[in-house]
Structure formats: C-alpha cells, structure tokens
Chains A and B, each alone.
Chain A
Amino acid sequence: MRRGRLSARLGLGFWLATGWILLVLLAALLADVLPLARYDETLAGPPRSGPSPAHPFGTDGLGRDVLSRVVHGARVSLGVGLGAVLLGLAIGAPLGLLAGYRRKAADAVIMALNDVAQAFPALVFALAVVAFAGANLRNVIIVLGVLGVPSWVRLVRGSTLTYAGREFVLAARVLGARDRRILWREVVPNVAVPASSYAFIGMAVVIVAEGSLAFLGLSVQAPTPTWGGLINEGRTIMEDAPNVVLAPSVVMFLTVLSFNLVGDRLRALTDVREIGLEPVRQAVAAVPAPTAPHPVRDCLLQAEDVRTHFVTPRGLVKAVDGVSFTLERGRTLAVVGESGSGKSMLIRSILGLLPGTAVRGGTVYLSGDDLTARSPAEMRSVLGPRLGTVFQDPMTALNPVRTIGAQVTEPLRVHLRMGRRQAREEAVRLLASVGIPDPARTLRRYPHQLSGGMRQRVTIAMALSCGPDVLFADEPTTALDVTIQDQVLRLLHRLREERDMAVVLVSHDLSVVARWADEVIVMYAGRVVERGPAAEVFGRPRMPYTEALLQAAPRLTDPAHHRLRVISGRPPDLADLPAGCAFRARCAYAGDRCATEPPPLTEVEGRAYACWHPLPSTETSLEGTHVDGR
C-alpha cells in the first residue's frame, strides 16, 4: 500500500497520539538529563504554588516540582507497561497459537481457564499478591503481565483460528509441510498484525492497572514517584492546589488515550466502512444527464429515466442507468435480467430505499404525483398504503424477535390508525386471505416457528395490509421450494385480480415471468435492452441477450442429464463499462458498430429493443415454455 494513502487512512488523531507517546517516552528516557528540578527535592519552590516559568506544573505540598515528578512517574508507568505487555505476550502468544492451531483438547482447557480468569476479580488478585509478595517494580510487572495472559491467549487464538483454516495454510498442510514451518511461515506473520495492535491497547490497560495499584499505595514505593501515587497525594490538597492532582491526571489520560487510539486505528485498518440508516440523497453532481422533458402520462405508475449511481473508490458505478416504463392498474410488469443487472436497485430506487452512498436521478410518478420530489417523511405516507413490497428471502424478511401479530398489525396501526383490537381482527382476515391456516394462532407465533412458504405468505399479507395500488415483488419465490413457488405466484395473481392492483415482478426465472407477466423489461448492465408484451418478447426476442436468457432457462422438456446451457462470459464491470454495447463481448452477432456506438432503445410496433443487429422478427425460439397459460 502506498504511504500517502496509509497515512490518510490512519487519520490525524493517530499521528498526534503517536507524537504524544514518543514525547512521553523520550521524557521518561531522558528524565535525568533534562533540565528539571530533582523530583525529591523539597522546597524547590514555594509549596503549593501554581504554574510558573520555573515550575510549569507548579509545586506540591512539600514544594517539589510537579513536572519533574510527573516525568519520573512516566518511567514507572511505561516501564511496567512494556515489561507486563512483553511478559503477557511471551506467555500468552504460544498458548494462543497452540489453542488455535491444535484445536480440541488444548483449546478446551484454555477456554475453560479463560472462563475462570473472567470470573476472577483481577485487581483484587493483583492487590493481594503485590501486598503480600512486596510492592516493587519486579512484582508489579510479573503480576500485571500474568493477568494480561488470558487476553493475549484469546486474541492470538482467535486470529490463529481464522488463518489456520485459510486455503494457503491447508495447502501447506496437504503438501506435507511441517507444523512448525507452517506456523512460522504462514500463521505467525498474519497473527502479528492484530497482535501488534493489541500490544498498544495492552499498554493502555497495564498503565491504568499500575496506576490503580499505585493509587492504593501498592506499586513502586516512595520516594520514586508514580502517576497513581501522585494523584493520590494530590487529592488531599486539591482545594488549595488543584494543579498537583490535575497535572498527573491529564498526562495519564492523554497517554492512555494515545495508546488506545493507536491500537484502535491499527486494528481498524482491516475494517470495512459502515453505513447507517440514511435517506436517499437526490441526484446531484454525480448524475450526468438531467432528465429529458417528458409528458406525465395518465397511468398508475410511470418511471422516467430512473438512474441510481454509486460513488465508489473504484469510480462511478451506474447500477441503474436511465430506465423508463409505465404500468396500468391490473397489469403485471416483469423485470428480468441476470443478477447484478440492476433489477433490485431499480425497485429500491423507485421506493427511495437506497443505501446512503447512492445518488438517485430521474422521476417516478404515482397517478401523476411526483414521488421523487417527496421528502423521506412524505414518502413514508405512500410506502405501505399505496406501494407494497415483498422481498426475496422470507427467512430474513421478518424480524426474528417480534411476533407475527406485532409485525402484521403494525402498518395497520401506523398508517390506518386502527386500534389494537381492530388491527388484530384485520390481521386475522389478512392472514386468512393469503391462505394461512389458523390465523389467530399464527399471530402469536414467531417467524422461526413458521415454514418458508408460510413466512412468505406473511410478508405478502404485510405488504397488502394497507391496500396498496402497486405491489413490488422482488424475486418473491427464489428462496422457496419449487412446489411452494407455484402456490405463491398463484396467490399473487389472485390477489392482483381481487384488489385490482398492479404488480412489478422482479425475477431471473423466465418460466415464472412468461407465465404470469403482461409486459416485460429486460435489463442488462443497468439499462433496458428490450421491452414489450411478455408473449411477444419471449416468443420472438429481438435482442440477442434476451435470446441467450431464454436459451439458458432450463425447460421441463429437456432430456435428463441434458447439459445446462449458460450464457458464456460474465456480466461487465459496472465501474468500467466498455464503449459501445455492453453485451458485445458475449454476443454471437456483434459487429464493428457494436464496439463503438451504444445502441439506442428503438421503438418498433409497441416493442423496443437496443441492438444494432436485432434478430429477425419471425423467429420462434421458445418451444418449451408456456406463454399463454395463466
């Protein structure tokens, strides 16, 4: 990694902390050489005097120079810190390696000891041992070093476990490398990274522990000053001379903070950035083209030039790039494409449920009302009552710790302002309408007590609870058994008829789409490449990608052990799209023009496709799939 980026990732705080640690370390090393008053010289200045040029931190009750005492105290703190951390590492690291690498017995014993260590009041133990064995530097280092061993074992064992299972270690084992060699060559270098970060945190822990002992008078004895001892002395005179207690307190705080910060930053180097719960930011600079002028049609749902872009370290990723469609009441629109084609992002973009890093462009109209102009709070009054949503995996779509009843009644109570009893009665009706047996009892159950098919029915019931006009179903059957899939799709279709809704059905499964959809849009690399009535698009695909998708779909008429057809090649990198047609590299029909000029979406006889070399409009390539049946 380049040095500049590394230093930026560590942040300013890291370098300030490192600077402070070096400063304290240097002061401690050079304490005898520095032009300071002797730490035990009484009446070096007037007792209990405040900061002055001669005594920057003032003097204590006996007139001793506080700065000098703090600097000498640093020797004890850092000395004990280094000694105890090295001792803990020397004992704990081998044990941790052993436990992580040679699992089973060694691991069990070490984890049991860990349990005991956690129940053991460490500070009480340290106090007792130091008190009985003698309060001196050696004993303090030994006690705090030994007390640190369980943490070291836990840390090293954890990292070893991670790496001992990785491919390169397994490969070395298979190749017959000796254990010691594997440990030294493969495991130790990788464990060294978390261990070095923990060494800094361990320093902070030991410095605090030594301070606690010293505060109670059980560390290195007078006349040698210690930070904890200074604070204990200072607190008796803090009414007259607060500087005596404040100086060591602040220095100690900054030192502990610095060690913690350095350790934490080093550890965070390997972490991924986190994202929270944030509303969508509207299209800003990252969206290049403004939405072209367009008529607002008289239909239920209209998407105009919807764009969803992500600004990533690798560049601008156009997950959805200019998708338009219209949808009427009582119709089903299917959105198909391979995974990564932007289908789900399109849905989330319409609903305004994108991660905080996304930038959205384009316009979405619901009955002529512009949804993209709404604030997140205004959007919430539409989500639920007018737009319902079902996701792919019913296992993760329900909150595991809330009852079905709490979850199904919630939108009713929030949006329709129903009372508890009324919402419950309505929930029973809803569950019954999606075919759940014994709905009253189901309301009292938790998601983990239901089967996958039942859970998907519950999420459908939740999506329908406030009577939406449009139901978005994102791969609603992909995670389900084949036999359940058909039931759920039939249910969706029946509910659409009963409630006169529109359905947007996202799927990669063409047999599902062909049977239940009225219209279809085919997406590739974030763009629409073909659009039209489902029967026509699947009956006579014009875009080669659609044809390839159809050929890749397994059919019931295929003979057993038939070779599964796949689309050759892989989808393009969205951060680095090729010039021209994005499908060119995988297309059998591609010509010169495809490499230079992206084909526009051309409207022909109620259909549209984006291709320079469209397939002839007479060909029929879908023998095995039902196109007509519902």
Chain B
Amino acid sequence: MIVVHRLVRLLIVLLAVTFLSYALLNLLPGDPVTQILGLSATEEARAQVRQELGLDQPLLVRYLDWLGGIATGDFGTSYITRMPVAAELAERLPVTLELLVAAQVIALGLAIPIGVAAARRAGRALDQALTALSFALLSTPVFVLGVLLILVFAVTWQVVPATGWTPISLDLGWNLTSVILPAVTLGCGQLAVYARLLRTDLIATLQEDYITLARARGLSPRRILWRHALRPSAITLITAVGLNLGALIGGAVIIETLFGLPGVGRLIVDSIFSRDYLSVQGGVVLISVGYVAVNVAVDLVYAAVDPRIRRA
C-alpha cells in the first residue's frame, strides 16, 4: 500500500522533472538550428530544418510527442550526430552503472564499520578521529579528490591508469583497475555522509531499553552493536542511499570527465557543449528514471529491515 502510494508520487516527480528539463532547455537562448546550419544559413533553410525537426510545434505538443516516443523506447534522433539517442545511451549506461554501483559498495562497505566503531566509543579519541576524517572527506570537492588520487596512485606510484576505460567484456582485471580510482573518488564523499548518519542513529539506538537489557543478559558489546543495534539504526542510512543518487550522478558527471570514462555523464557534458538537446534530455530522463527506480527499491528494502513496516 505504502509502496503503491510512493510509486504514484514518484511518477508525478518523474513527469515534473522531464517537463521542467524539456521546457527549460527549449526556452533558454541558443537554437539547435543555428548549431546545425551555422550562422550564415538563409531564413528559408532555417524554416525548413525547423519544420523537419518539428520545432515549429508548440512546446507542450513537442514535449508530449517526445514523451510518447520515450514510452516506446524511442528517445529521438540527435540533431547533431544524426544517431538515435537511445542507442547512444544504451552504449554508455553500463559504464555509469558500474561506476555508481562500485562507488556505493565502497562507500557502504567502509561507512558501516566506521559508523559502528565511532558510535561504540562516542566522544572518545577514535570517534573524534573518525568524525574529523569524515568531515574532511565531506569538505573535499570530488574533482580535488580525484586529482589528488590520480597524482598519488597514477602519476607517482603508477599502480593504476590515470584515465581510460576497459569494458568488462574485454578484460575483467583491466576493467577493475580502470574503475577503482573513479569509484573510490566518487564513493568517498558518500562514505562520509553515510558514516555520520549511521553514527548518529546508532548512538540514539544504544540508549534504548532493549540495548541495556541485552547488556543485562551478558551479551558482548560486539554482538550488541552488530546484531541488535545496527538494523534498527539503518533506516536513515537506507533513505540516504536512495536520496543521494542525485548528488552521486552530479559527481559522476565530473568523474567521467576527469577520468575519461565513456559514460552517460560524459555524454551529457559533451551534448551540452554541442547543444545536442535531445541527448541532454535523454540523459536527464535516464537519471530521473534511475532515481525513481532506486527509491522504490529502497522502500522494499525498508520492509526487509524493519518488520514493523511490513504491515500494510
């Protein structure tokens, strides 16, 4: 029931985001026709191209037309490259997906032990050190961190390549070496957010009666933290994983440019520079759909983590 309600809400969000981005890109100065024909084109030629592309239609009609196409998997044909946008996106999506998943795995894999360790000794030296570390990570712009990591691991130590991409299909080992540095860079900021959230929630959970009673039953602090306290403290963390996807994708745009990865973020940046409206919009749709899908999945994970939510 709750999931259905959320789904409807997210679908509305999806419509709003696509319409806003469509309208905005079309209302901004800059004209794809100029981009295609150049400044010296005659007015007749411009009008003809405009008609060919359907640009003479009202905005709302064009939006609905475009949206209808997307519903059937047709993202339109790029004015610039004359290639179907859907094919371009499909080719680049795996790169971005791998980057995002790897970043999340690294962030969560480190944030959970760090958050637990900090909460266990809240206020002590270890906690203060970990809090300071996550604060520093939170304050490091993703491109600064990326540049520093490249400087250390690719330039000085030369253990991984600085830029470039090897697909999984080609060679798994090389694929991993090409994804590790970008994923660490992207994951570090999230790591800081997650560790701080988990620490705060864990400290609150550790004040609960059932934790004191678990101690009164002679259970070890380790067991209490991992088996008793972690799950009831994870809800905010899981929410953040879903909601942070937007920020993560913003980071991916930079990371893909910095590390030369042929992903969706890089496609969007390139398309923005070449005024390739349909590709930009296609990228935005893909991101929004991904956001909605992840947040629906997060709702399902809630139910698995907290049985009280399972009642419908």
- In the complex, which of the residues B14, B150, B232 contacts A401, with contact meaning CB atoms closer than 8 Å? B232
| Also in contact, A120 and B17, with CB within 8 A (given A264-B135, A277-B225) | yes
Q: Which residues of B contact A577 (CB under 8 A)?
A: none
Bound CA–CA A211/B145 (angstroms): 13
Inter-chain contact A122/B119, CB cutoff 8 Å: no
Also in contact, A204 and B308, with CB within 8 A (given A118-B246, A121-B246, A415-B218): no
The answer to whether B210 and A396 have CB atoms under 8 Å apart is yes
The interface bits of chain B over 250-275 (1 if a CB of A lies within 8 angstroms of the residue's CB, else 0) are 11011001100000000011001101
Q: Which of A120, A131, A231, A380 contacts B273 (CB 8 A)?
A: A131
| A399 in contact with B13 (CB, 8 Å) | no
| Interchain CB contact under 8 A, B20 and A120 | yes
Kindly identify, within residues 240 to 295 of chain A, every residue whose CB is under 8 Å from any CB belonging to chain B: 242, 245-246, 249, 252-253, 256-257, 260-261, 264, 273-278
- C-alpha gap A380/B123 in the complex (Å): 24
Q: Given A276-B119, A401-B231, A411-B217, A119 and B306 touching (CB < 8 A)?
A: no
B-side contacts of A132, CB under 8 Å: 25, 28-30, 272, 275
The A/B interface has a contact count, at CB < 8 Å, of: 231
| A391 on the B face (CB < 8 A) | yes
A120 to B284, CA, bound (A): 8
- Chain A hits for B224, CB < 8 A: 277
Complex contacts, A398 vs chain B, CB 8 Å: 210
Name the contact of A274 in the complex, choosing from B30, B122, B254, B268 (C-beta under 8 A): B122
Contacts of A305 in B (CB 8 A): none
Contacts of B187 in A (CB 8 A): none
Check B217 against A391 for contact (C-beta < 8 Å): no
B66 interface residue (CB < 8 Å to A): no
B55 at the interface (CB under 8 A from A): no
Q: How far is the CA of A211 from the CA of B258 in the complex (A)?
A: 13
Most chain B CB within 10 A, of A132, A204, A246, A382, is at A132
Assess whether A389 is in contact with B213, with CB atoms less than 8 Å apart: yes
Are A277 and B216 neighbours in the complex by a CB distance under 8 Å?
A: no
Given A389-B217, A398-B210, A399-B210, A122:B250 Cβ within 8 A? yes
Answer yes or no: B64 CB below 8 A from chain A CBs: no
In the assembled complex, the CB of A40 is this many whole angstroms from the nearest CB of chain B, namely 23
A383 at interface (Cβ–Cβ under 8 A)?
yes
Q: Residue B53 at the A interface, CB < 8 A? A: no
Q: Bound complex: CA of A472 vs CA of B214, how far in Å?
A: 14
| Residue B69 CB within 8 A of the other chain | no
A359 to chain B, nearest CB (A): 16
B43 interface hit (Cβ, 8 Å): no
The answer to whether the Cβ of B50 comes within 8 Å of any Cβ in the partner chain is: no
B144 with A253: CB separation less than 8 A: yes
Closest to B210 in A: A399
Residue A628, interface by CB 8 Å: no
* Nearest A residue (CB) for B265: A124
Given contacts A121-B284, A273-B123, A275-B123, contact A396 B25 (CB under 8 A): no
Interface size, B (range)? 35 or more
B40 sits at the interface (CB 8 A): no
Min CB–CB distance A623 → chain B (angstroms) = 37
B44 in the interface, Cβ–Cβ < 8 Å? no
The binding surface of chain A is classed by DSSP as helix
Q: How far is the CA of A379 from the CA of B217 in the complex (A)?
A: 10
A325 within 8 Å of B (CB atoms): no
CB <8 Å contact, A119 and B246: yes
Do B141 and A119 touch (CB < 8 A)? no
B221 neighbours in A (Cβ, 8 Å): 277
Q: How far is the CB of A358 from chain B (nearest CB, A)?
A: 13
Determine if B155 is an interface residue (Cβ-Cβ < 8 Å). yes
Inter-chain CA distance A495–B231, complex, in Å, is 34
* Contact B155–A239 (Cβ < 8 Å): yes
Stretch at the interface among B84-92, B99-107, B201-209: B201-209
Q: Which of B1-41 contact A (CB under 8 A)?
A: 9-10, 12-14, 16-17, 20-21, 24-25, 28-30
B178 beta carbon closer than 8 Å to chain A? no
Task: For B30, list chain A residues within 8 Å (CB).
Answer: 132-133
Q: Do residues A212 and B249 form an inter-chain contact, with CB atoms below 8 A?
A: no
Interface string of B104-125 (1 = CB under 8 A from A): 0000000000000001111110
Please tell me if A115 contacts chain B, counting CB pairs below 8 Å. yes
B221 nearest in chain A by CB position: A277
Chain B residues numbered 264-312 whose CB sits less than 8 Å from any CB in chain A: 268-269, 272-273, 275, 280, 283-284, 287-288, 291-292, 305-308
* B236 interface residue per 8 A CB criterion: no
B residues 228-246 touching A (CB-CB < 8 Å): 228, 231-232, 243, 246
Closest residue on chain A to residue B19 by CB atoms: A116
Contact A212 B143 (CB under 8 A): yes
Q: How far is the CA of A391 from the CA of B209 in the complex (A)?
A: 8
Contacts of B93 in A (CB 8 A): none
CB-based contact A382/B218 at 8 Å: yes
Check: B136 CB closer than 8 A to any chain A CB. Answer: yes
List the A side residues contacting B283 at CB < 8 Å.
124
Is B135's CB under 8 angstroms from A212's CB?
no
Q: Does B57 contact A (CB under 8 A)?
A: no
Contact at A208–B141, with CB atoms within 8 Å?
yes
B80 at the interface (CB under 8 A from A): no
A sample of 20 inter-chain contacts (CB < 8 A) reads A116-B20, A121-B253, A125-B21, A132-B25, A132-B272, A133-B28, A211-B141, A212-B143, A228-B143, A232-B143, A235-B147, A256-B141, A274-B123, A275-B203, A380-B219, A383-B218, A387-B216, A400-B210, A411-B218, A472-B216
Other CB < 8 Å A-B pairs besides A128-B272, A249-B144, A448-B307, 13 of them?
A: A119-B292, A120-B21, A121-B253, A124-B284, A125-B24, A133-B29, A228-B141, A261-B135, A273-B123, A274-B123, A383-B216, A410-B227, A411-B219
Q: Which 8 A-B pairs have the closest CB atoms?
A: A276-B122, A123-B250, A383-B218, A384-B218, A389-B216, A257-B139, A132-B28, A396-B209
- Which residues of B line the A interface, CB within 8 A? 9-10, 12-14, 16-17, 20-21, 24-25, 28-30, 119-124, 127, 135-136, 138-144, 147-148, 150-151, 155, 203, 206-221, 223-225, 227-228, 231-232, 243, 246-247, 249-251, 253-254, 257-258, 268-269, 272-273, 275, 280, 283-284, 287-288, 291-292, 305-308
